[in-house]
Structure formats: C-alpha cells, structure tokens
Structure 1
C-alpha cells in the first residue's frame, strides 16, 4: 500500500470521528450551548477537515498501482458524468432546510418520509457509493480503491448510527418510518411498502444541486498538474 493511502485513511478516520462524533453529541451539546451555537461549532470543525480530505484526494488520486485504465473507452465520460450527477442528487437531497445549515434558522432534527426518502432512507450513503463507483471506474488507482473503502465504510457506519440516533429521539415514530422505507434504493417501492410521488422531488434545492453539478463539470478543467502541485505543497505543509 502506498504511504499516501495510509494518510488518506487516517484523514478519513479523523473526519468520521468529527462528523459522526458530532452527530452523537448533538442532543447534549444543544442542551448546553444551544442549537445555533452547536451548528456553528460543528461546521467550524467539519468543513476544514472535509476540505483537507478533498484536497489530499485531488493531489494523490493516481498514487499507488494503476489497477485498470478505462479512460480511452468510447462513451465512458458521459457515463461517469451521469453517475456523478445522480450521486449528487442523493448526496445533497432536497430534504435539507438550507437556512438551517449556516444556523440562520434554528437547526432541528426531523423525521422525513417524503421526497428522496421514499427511494432510500439514507440517500447520502447511496450517493457516496455511486460517486465512489464512478470515480474508481475512471481513475483506477489503488489509492482510489482505498479511498472508496474508507468513504463507503464511514457511510455504512452512518446508516447504523443514524438509525440508532433517530430511534432514540423519536421512538415508535421512527420505527414506523423504518418499516415503510429502505436503505437499498427503490426496495421499499418494489415490495409495496412505499409509493413514489415524483412531484415531491421537484423542489428548488434540486435546481441548486443541478447547477452545482454544472459548476463542478466546468471546474474539472482547472484541476491541472500545476494546481495539484500547488495544493500538494500546501497540504504537505499542514500535515508535516
């Protein structure tokens, strides 16, 4: 295993501890310092750790062994972008109350049974798997495989951890929600426990996600060797 893969696993572990640990502490922290203050503190820790993870990934994504190289396969690029766009629709679902993210409105924990939750109770985990699959298909390095293992492992833990926290907070209401939904996409729809209402998916936040996908597509051209080298030097300074 290339040394950068070990560093990546360590960075992912730190992010997982901050993110999932912060979620576990939320109830007690909000009782002590308030919901808005906790959200600001949580973001102040989570966002920089996520930026470091993303930056390190960009700088080292081709490290290690090249396990496969499909980049010359005709038609692969549109497939990668379609899968990536779909992954974003799951990663950043329209169930978010956008003004609660920066604590403009008071952040609250809610049970959702509509929109994308009808497809999967844990859309972020589904989106992460899709993102990992599409990018691993394109990049094909051992570093990318290790990164995917770390990311998917964290999200599988988050599925269990999230269900556990919601059951503790909402009790029987969450049990009923769990019985009518599924983690596996469309499983509850196919077995008759859930009915899709497509109009619930047409929300303004999804337009924002579509715009973000376009911005990321446009920005990929600037991920040049020079930019990667600059980012790498800054990250090495932070990690040394």
Structure 2
C-alpha cells in the first residue's frame, strides 16, 4: 500500500510540479488532459487496492457495534468532504472543457484553511481509521497524510514561485491549521461565500457515498477477481 501511495504521489505531485514546464511546451489543455489521464487511473488502482485489503493485518480495535460510531464516522466524513471538495479549481477544468488556470483564492473554505484538501484527508483518515481499526488502515493513513503534508509544502512553494508577493500576502492572512487565522484575527468568515450551489453538490456526493457503501464489498471482490489486486500483493 505504501508503494502504491508513493507511486501515486510521484505521479500526482510530480506532475503538478512539472506543470509550468509542460504548459510552456504543449499548452494548458493538453497538459491537463495528460495529467488527468495519468492521475485518475492511478487513483482508481490505489482506491481499489485499499477497498480489497482494508481489513488486512492486525485488527487493533473493533468499535463497529457501538451505538455512537456510525453518526460520528458519517458526520466526520461529511465534514471531510466539505474540505476535500476541489475548492481551488473549476471542475470543468479537469477534462479541459474550460482552459485550466492557476489562481489565488482567499475566499470561502480558504478562509478556514489554505489547504482544505489536506484537512479533509486527515479528517477522512481519522473517521475511517476509527471505523476499520486495522493495522493496514494505520499504514494507509500514515501514507496519505504524509503525501498531503508534502503537498502543503509543495503547493505553497509553487504558488510562491508563480505569484511572489501576492502569495505572501495570502499566506500572511490565512493558515494551514483550520480556523487558526480566524481565531487570531488575521481572517474572518463570510457566510455568503459558503452558500453556493457547489455546497449542494457536496451534500449529494455524501448521500451517494452513503448509498454506495453497501456495494463496497462487491466492488472489492470484483477488483480482486481482475487479478490486479493479487498481482499488486
């Protein structure tokens, strides 16, 4: 699992780091199509392997019979999706239907954390580790969080190189740790920035994942039967 996560990190974060060089040669749209064409299949392999092996290793704890566990896990997961939602780019830029652009954002979720995807990943790991409780899940969470900590540093580095003083101004008024900039007075929350159609999309996504969880076992079995899971270990 760590090997798969490392490979994905190299492809995803490495590809993002090469963006400025690639765009200069082939353009924004071509780069986005190549980047998505590499990253999305790699993510599917990682997710499929995780689903097939999530209970592997030692079962460190089992809290699934506790009455409080389901609402806690789903509440935490729903909040994690609010952060994991791609807040820093337009969804239509992924398939290059719109021309992809690098922008600085200082509104909405960015007021809470400058790196919402990292926060969302940590929350997702915490809730699913609590639910599954396996040593395999501990290793998975360690790898995912390590990748996102690197992505925090790498993302700030790339934005600093691209935007210079404008990014330094954004960095000074935001924080990586959620609500830190709000609590120390460098930032304020604007309720209207969170009341957008995209939030409805998040709610629908959470509902779909709730519904789809009943099929996770079937999906893991299908993944294993392809032979890919066996070949990967």
List aligned pairs for 1:1-240, cutoff 5 A.
8-224=1-217, 226-234=218-226, 235-236=228-229, 239=232
| CA deviations over 1:209-236 (Å, ceiling 9, x no partner) | 2101100100001123x54222112223
Q: CA deviation at 1:102?
A: 1.1
TM-score (norm 1): 0.94
1:149-185 Cα deviation digits (max 9, x unpaired): 0000000000000000000000000000000000000
Distance 1:100 1:146 in 2: 33
Instruction: Name the CA distance, whole Å, in 2 between partners of 1:103 and 1:229.
Output: 33
Give, in whole Å, the separation in 2 of the partners of 1:170 and 1:87: 28
With structure 2 as the length reference, what TM-score do the two structures score?
A: 0.96
**Alpha-carbon distance in structure 2 between the residues aligned to 1:72 and 1:88:** 25
Q: Which runs of 5+ in 2 are unaligned?
A: none
Aligned-residue Cα RMSD (Å) equals: 1.2
1:143 CA displacement: 0.1
Contiguous gaps of at least 5 residues in structure 1: 1-7
Give the superposition deviation at 1:112.
0.3
CA distance in 1, matches of 2:167, 2:10: 25
Whether the aligned pair in 2 keeps the contact of 1:120 and 1:186 (CA below 8 Å) is yes
What count of residue pairs does the alignment treat as equivalent? 232
Farther off after superposition, 202-211 or 165-174:
202-211
